Amino acid sequence: MSDPNCIFCKIASKQIPAFIVYEDEQVVAFKDISPQVPVHVLIVPRLHLAGLDALTEAHRELVGHIALVAQQLAKELGVTTRGYRLVANCGPDAGQTVFHLHFHLLGGAPMAGKMV
Ligand code: 5GP
Ligand code: ZN
């Protein structure tokens, strides 16, 4: 299911353009419009889910799939040796701005401000 007002649903269905680096029947991965590091890709499910809080038991396989897609993309984008992060912001304290579940794959430069 998709939300007609959601920017990431529109990217997933190619109603608006993005630099897509990977897609399959469950997920789409595309370059962030405002990259924070040299490799900054967003991995999103095709299914509209507002964020981590919207996940249920039914999405267990989907989240595992996203983690493996992230690992594969990290290899393809050449960041496995130096390292990378996979981050999902959920809610206002975490700074979530787009309310369609997404995971930031970040790499390609040392990340300052180690939070955890
Ligand atoms: P959040 O702050 O919700 O964790 O992350 C949202 C991310 O989506 C931000 O890093 C922002 O740059 C990115 N973003 C917002 N709108 C667009 C867009 O239209 N296209 C692309 N490629 N990225 C977007
Ligand atoms: Zn959506």
Cα of 60 to ligand 2 centre, how many Å?
18
3-state secondary structure (DSSP) of residue 42: strand
Q: Dump the DSSP string for 67-95.
A: HHHHHHHHHHTT-TTT-EEEE---SGGGT
Supply the residues annotated as catalytic: 102
Q: Which of 20, 34, 103 to mutate to test the pocket of ligand 1 (most atoms within 8 A of CB)?
A: 34
Q: Which of 10, 11, 32 to mutate to test the pocket of ligand 1 (most atoms within 8 A of CB)?
A: 32
pLDDT at 112: 81
pLDDT at 36: 95
Q: What tens digit of pLDDT does each residue of 61-116 get?
A: 999 999 999 999 999 999 999 999 999 999 999 999 999 999 999 999 999 877 78
